[in-house]
Amino acid sequence: MNTLASLNLVKSLENSASETPNSQPVYALISVHGDPTAEIGKEGAGGQNVYVRELGLALAKRGCQVDMFTRREYPDQEEIVELAPGCRTIRLNAGPAKFITRNDLFEYLPEFVEAWLNFQQRTGRSYTLIHTNYWLSAWVGLELKSRLGLPQVHTYHSIGAVKYRNMENPPQISAIRNCVERAILEQADYVISTSPQEAEDLRQLISQHGRIKVIPCGINTEHFGSVSKEVARQQLGIASDSQIILYVGRFDPRKGVETLVRACANLPSAFQLYLVGGCREDGADFKEQQRIESLVNDLGLEAVTVFTGRISQALLPTYYAAGDICVVPSYYEPFGLVAIEAMAARTPVIASNVGGLQHTVVHGETGFLVPPRDSKALAIAIHSLLQNPTLKESYGNAAQNWVQSRFSTQGVAARVHELYQSLTLDTFIQEIIKTKKLTPDLERQIQNLLKSKV
């Protein structure tokens, strides 16, 4: 059989796959520590929770069934929450029903796997593919893949080898994390990297093997662009001529809030600094917030600094729109949703020249990129933008257009869905090859075609 004939065969297999009765795909998104329905902005709840939720909702809009699995963190949490038709959060019991930091969750993963299998058996739900998020879920996914043979896609959200690169005392769990992060790259059917930088880090620091596809994170650009600056300032009681510098995110030392506060202490003109993000009083980010509060006091900035606490996703567009600039001063940032959320609200971004930020912020067009941990360079960049309203406005307009064209949830979800479909088709064809006993030559040609497909 020639290549054209093989192509036709693959096409007809595609057709028969889509005509299989009950063939509506059912996807399992697994996010052990990032509940997609959690309050965002508190300890442990950040970009990953948003990524999973937005992807789940967008896939459901495309007609897929999506179950998003996470760990129950409080005894009174419901097991199943329906977010939209076709999209549910499912909370499994694994370990005590209380908040547990990521570094202490590994021992409960076997329980998570059992709970997942029980759920599947109890409900008779048959999953087409699993998409795991962060290394803890990667371990769960590899276990399920080996038992059920399901195709698996993985998104890292953060890479241990990068995060701990310059750390003197990395946590004990980091050795296990590194092993799992290597295994998942080599064994998953596909890894989704949210930025070209992450893909490069994976190749350089983790493994040369395994398939990687770069698909960025997406956001609801309409939601974040829904408020004008005038309305936002009226609602928040901010004078129209105030210069507002905005930070949004968790209080975690790697977010670089310290560098931002030190940069603000060097600014020659008047401004207000809004630090948006919340924390639990018993959590690690509370310590970081207290540290930042004392730094603000030591540098004499308390009169111009506002700690807003956690702000809901519903109200965040108002804060983004009220800002003159949004600063993302991270030391390490695999993607950085905050940067694209701010740009969607037409607010230019000044970000550290690291990780995913290098690919979301266009230096000299939608804002500036500055070296990380360099408060002087950051102060110069902030000052130059605050002092130039025309530049600020043109960067803001360009930022909004850029984000709408590249990072909308629907566009991103379409690319992820395409990847899922090609993998489920692969699995379906492999099944046919197994059961139909094709000639070795035909089988080889089909395998070659499949390899070149995605």
Minimal distance, residue 382 CB to ligand UDP, in Å: 19
DSSP 16-71: HHHHSTT---EEEEE-TT--TTSPTTSTT-SHHHHHHHHHHHHHHHTT-EEEEEEE
Among 162, 275, 311, 377, binds ligand UDP (CB under 6 A): 311
SS3 category, 274: strand
The residue range among 114-122, 230-238, 334-342, 377-385 that interacts with ligand UDP, by the rule CB under 6 A, is: 334-342
The count of other CB atoms within 10 Å of the CB of residue 79 is: 12
Nearest to 95 by CA among 61, 127, 136: 136
Closest contact distance (angstroms) between CB of 338 and ligand UDP is: 4
Of these, 216, 256, 336, 348, which contacts ligand UDP (CB under 6 A)?
336
Tell which one of 115, 337, 378, 385 touches ligand UDP (CB under 6 A): 337
Contact set for ligand UDP, span 257-296 (CB under 6 A): 276-278
Judged by CB under 6 A, which of 190, 251, 335, 402 binds ligand UDP?
335
Distinct helix (H) and strand (E) counts, the chain: 18, 14
Question: Least distance (Å) from ligand UDP to the CB of residue 431?
Answer: 37
Contact 95, 108 (CB under 8 A): yes
Applying CB under 6 A, does 313 fall inside the site for ligand UDP? yes
Q: Smaller CB distance to ligand UDP: residue 210 or 218?
A: 218
3-class secondary-structure state, position 120: helix
Least separation in angstroms between residue 289's CB and ligand UDP is: 12
Least Å distance, CB 22 to ligand UDP, is: 36
Residue 93, φ and ψ in degrees, nearest 5: -85, 120
Residue (113 or 316) nearer to ligand UDP, CB: 316
Residue indicated by tokens 């029903």: 97
Alpha helices in 62-215 (DSSP H): 109-123, 134-148, 160-163, 174-187, 196-201
The enclosing H or E element of 435 equals helix 409-436
**Only segment of 69-77, 245-253, 383-391, 442-450 that touches ligand UDP (CB under 6 A):** 245-253
**Residue 223 touching ligand UDP (CB under 6 A):** no
Smallest distance, ligand UDP to C-beta of residue 278, A: 5
CA distances to 218, 219, 352, 390, 391 from 398, rounded to whole Å, are 18, 17, 19, 12, 10
Q: How far is the CB of 282 from ligand UDP (least distance, A)?
A: 18
CA distance to 58, 68, 118, 264, 398, per residue, from 52 (Å):
10, 8, 22, 34, 28
Decide if residue 129 touches ligand UDP (CB under 6 A): no
Q: Which of 347, 344, 351, 352 is nearest to 411 (CA)?
A: 344
Min separation Cβ 308 and ligand UDP, Å: 7
Q: How far is the CB of 225 from ligand UDP (least distance, A)?
A: 14
For residues 439 and 174, give the distance between their C-alpha atoms in angstroms, rounded to a whole number.
47
Window contacting ligand UDP (CB under 6 A); options: 96-104, 308-316, 406-414, 431-439: 308-316
Give me the residue whose beta carbon is nearest to ligand UDP: 46
106 to each of 103, 132, 173, 241, 252, how far by Cα in Å? 7, 15, 8, 51, 21
C-beta closer to ligand UDP: residue 166 or 208? 166
Q: Which of residues 38-97 bind ligand UDP (CB under 6 A)?
A: 40-41, 46-48, 50
Q: Is 396 in the site for ligand UDP (CB under 6 A)?
A: no
Name residue, tokens 């930025």. 195
Per CB under 6 A, residues contacting ligand UDP are 40-41, 46-48, 50, 248-250, 276-278, 310-311, 313, 316, 335-338, 341
